Structure 1
């Protein structure tokens, strides 16, 4: 099976379940997400993790979605503070 070819769970793991059942389809997608392998310690791996985080937050909804948004905002705030500190360090090093 090619890496980009979808895995047919209903022929291998979910034998006997109805392909048209929304719950069975959701479970098949869940199994695919569990078995997905990404390269570790690469930009692609990190971005894939962020994508999974955003997708799962959108699926949950409610206060879980709000908490995911707060976590994302805190992460962005941390990145902004780190970038600001780097800019201040570079400017003070060049001028001082």
Structure 2
């Protein structure tokens, strides 16, 4: 990593740690994700957070992986159920008129 590409965290929060160490780089990336200050109500932010969840759950193992998979399945079922409910109400509204 070139000096110009160095994360500023190594001069502020991670003083004394080796910036070339992959574990330290991963920790710096983790700190950057944790302290991100962006609006959470935009589509882009929501998709970014879903991507972060997917990336972190793919690194997890054991019980954490099963919990993340269960949450993902429940979200998918919730979206399918809500979509079906909207379609049924729309068809009912169109045929009632």
Q: Which aligned runs of 4 or more in structure 1 are off by greater than 4 angstroms?
A: none
Residue of structure 1 equivalent to 2:73: 73
TM-score, L = length of structure 2: 0.81
CA RMSD of aligned residues (A): 1.9
Unaligned runs of at least 5 residues, structure 2: none
Deviation at residue 79 of structure 1 after TM alignment: 0.8
Deviation at residue 61 of structure 1 after TM alignment: 2.1
Deviation at residue 88 of structure 1 after TM alignment: 0.7
Contact 1:7 1:32 in 2 (8 A): no
Deviation at residue 84 of structure 1 after TM alignment: 0.5
Task: Answer yes or no: is 1:41 the counterpart of 2:24.
Answer: no
TM-score, L = length of structure 1: 0.81
Deviation at residue 55 of structure 1 after TM alignment: 1.5
Residue of structure 1 equivalent to 2:50: 50
